[in-house]
Structure 1
């Protein structure tokens, strides 16, 4: 949409969709209406997320862009801190509909600011010509395929076992569908391709995409400061590989240290080790953008960033599913039978057990705490392995500096 209809029109459309989805969800009288509203709201939110980065890429040179990403992520961090208490207050007062209605004035302000102040060149052509340029088939393939994969990941280990055909069949079909989408985009696309082959045809950009798909989905509490530090050092040195390597190293060090947690680990220990990991994740949040965009023409920014954000969002779903599955399986193996028998066979022990632990008698409570510490240690080992795989992507870099136009 950004390439075909222009930046301003796209941003306004997505803000409007988010507002409509919020209004429908807030006024929903049944689950069907709620799902419909949340679907529309999700379309708007996803578009806003992508367009914010695309607009920044249009206005700011790549080497200076990290600072503006830090500002955007500061807003996300503020929302992450203030959102849950506000939502809890509304829900506790029985006014859950205002969880959605509160978005409407904010959307109104954003819509007005965008309409009056976001002045970027609009692509030429009539609405009919622009609609004809949309890759309708590609959109259909990726929407269906990613939805099937997401449903399988969400239901796996909860509604159906991971090794059941109800999970494996849609998971395989969805992954094959995503592969088919990439093939279609490069050989048979009709209209404006969403993922042009040239944004994947060099090793440096490919390494950035691969790194983003392995970027662990952990706490964001300490992301903003390291993100800004990464941005400042990239701008000052005109290089970005060192920042990527350092960020992956911090994640690996933090994850490795967290494998040593025991039931008696001090608060300073488990907080400190997580801070190390979070600093690495925060730095990587910005650092992986540079190898993706540095080798590409500025005309490819919108396509590259849209695909980059898709990978980031999709990888978070995979990360949550992998983490939950590893923890669930390890708890099943390590929890004492006396405690495990308190739950139904299909219960998600990773969540259901936590509230029960403080009320358990000794020595059962101690045994459960040991089981949790042992199981989490395995989860951190998996994280360590994923981070190691992400660090390996840095060897694919063909360049470590920006083109002259970005200096």
Structure 2
């Protein structure tokens, strides 16, 4: 290809200098996106205890994931069309505004709304950073930088629960959001000064219809999994109506994208079997990852009696397992160009970790719990980087942004489905286990409109109420992990069908043209400062 980006990417020494200059800003953006996914977990029990609305706990996570998921394809496509720098900085700005508002929230409803605003910016953070790396570095050489990316991701996942717990204990849960401000401002400055990428002038129409239909379909499906069986029966008109709307939107989206000149979700990408399979694996991966990060802190604080800070500390083994395996996978891919083994092995290890977590009891020690989490983290580490790498390698270079955003979109949809579905399972199982065993005033804390279950209140309960509550929470948690095993097993089966296509930058790779791109010749790169 003649694109300036490809020319730059082909010169590995030059790329290395260019990437190292801008890398700190990209890493800060990834840190922001990953940190906000994890820092809120250890603070959630305290937030729920203050605001109430225990049954709406999952919406604090779901609103963020849903907003980020819906906007991710838009950021990816607009970046491909018009350049990424200004769009990337805009996303950081929106994220920071949402962080300030979330920290100032005065009710659960406000917090959910402001988390949605935060998610509108977050949709451009991870995909923007990944697509920029994809612009500058071919997949075969990208392993050189996977160590940096994995280290920052694991720093966020290790530091997130720990920082969230520390801030909740020593200051206030609101600082879990305010901490984003200095990091985001530094990222804006670094990106503004150092990032030099082509900006494209293209005579195309924005795919507004595709954007709207994609948003409707994603929102409808998440609402189905969130409300089904909790606020509404599965066969209620509300749930059946949402299912009908979501299916209709998906069908209409396929028809619209076939005719759009620059579709927000190009169907041509799905003609590549590797792209389809690896994204399906990423979708299923989201179930396990977000499920563990959301519900394990609840078990640690309510059943094992940890403070939020201690809960974060005992998450470190999971994150170390993920970091070590991710670094090892990246190094192996850079040296050999081989990658198929990692989705398979990662799925096996992840299933083993989930299976171990189904064995948690009220008597399980902290050491044993951490060993279980270590195994789960190792499985996730083998999967995390490889899914994005294979997705990007399966698309033409000019579609690198939309390939990155589609992969992120589907993984986030999986996470949103996981949190919503497992949140529903958790709440239903918890309420059922409490039925008739606790006084009405205590049972009210478990309802959707209850005051919330504060870990400190549980610690102060007299026997036998304390045992009843902790047993109920444990039973609800293990039920969630039993339900997650089939999804992880499906990912394992799919991984066997991945074809080991040579990575771009490898001796055996030949760049394939992007089929069905009538506007490819209209693109004129313009250097930006």
Pairs within 5 Å for 1:68-217: 68-74=148-154, 76-77=156-157, 80=160, 81-86=162-167, 89-91=170-172, 96=174, 103-125=180-202, 129=203, 132-185=204-257, 187-189=258-260, 191-215=261-285, 216=288, 217=290
Matches of 1:86 and 1:372 in 2, distance apart?
25
Matches of 1:22 and 1:334 in 2, distance apart?
36
Which one of the candidate residues 346, 359, 379 is aligned to 2:480?
Answer: 379
Paired positions, count? 395
Post-superposition offset of 1:25: 6.1
The SS at the match of 1:122 is strand
Post-superposition offset of 1:400: 1.5
2:118 corresponds in structure 1 to: 41
1:9 corresponds in structure 2 to: 86
Bigger CA drift: 138-147 or 270-279? 138-147
Post-superposition offset of 1:305: 0.8
User: What do the CA deviations read for 1:368-392 (whole angstroms, capped 9, x no partner)?
Assistant: 5545444433322222211101111
TM-score by length of structure 2 reads 0.65
Bigger CA drift: 49-58 or 267-276? 267-276
The SS at the match of 2:496 is helix
Distance 1:123 1:88, change over 3 A: farther
Give the conservation status (yes or no) of the 8 Å contact 2:88–2:128.
yes
Which one of the candidate residues 352, 372, 376 is aligned to 2:453?
Answer: 352
Matches of 1:14 and 1:270 in 2, distance apart?
37
The SS at the match of 1:206 is helix
User: What do the CA deviations read for 1:299-354 (whole angstroms, capped 9, x no partner)?
Assistant: 222111101111111111111122222233333444462227541397159x7386
1:394 corresponds in structure 2 to: 495
The SS at the match of 1:382 is helix
Gaps of 5+ in 2: 1-77, 294-317, 508-529
Matches of 2:263 and 2:328 in 1, distance apart?
35
Give the conservation status (yes or no) of the 8 Å contact 1:335–1:368.
yes
The SS at the match of 1:352 is coil
Give the conservation status (yes or no) of the 8 Å contact 2:222–2:420.
no
Bigger CA drift: 255-264 or 55-64? 255-264
The SS at the match of 2:163 is helix
The SS at the match of 2:444 is coil
User: What do the CA deviations read for 1:178-230 (whole angstroms, capped 9, x no partner)?
Assistant: 44324422x122x4212212211122111111001100223463432222122
The SS at the match of 1:339 is coil
Matches of 2:478 and 2:113 in 1, distance apart?
40
The SS at the match of 1:343 is helix
RMSD: 3.4
Matches of 1:328 and 1:197 in 2, distance apart?
38
Bigger CA drift: 264-273 or 14-23? 14-23
Distance 1:24 1:377, change over 3 A: closer
Post-superposition offset of 1:356: 5.6
Gaps of 5+ in 1: none
The SS at the match of 2:359 is coil
Is 1:317 aligned to 2:416, yes or no? yes
Matches of 1:268 and 1:28 in 2, distance apart?
36
User: What do the CA deviations read for 1:125-163 (whole angstroms, capped 9, x no partner)?
Assistant: 5xxx4xx53211111122233233334444445544444
TM-score by length of structure 1 reads 0.83
Structure possessing the higher relative contact order (Cα contacts under 8 Å, 6 or more residues apart): 2
Matches of 2:333 and 2:126 in 1, distance apart?
23
Give the conservation status (yes or no) of the 8 Å contact 2:127–2:404.
yes
Give the conservation status (yes or no) of the 8 Å contact 2:209–2:256.
no
Distance 1:2 1:380, change over 3 A: same
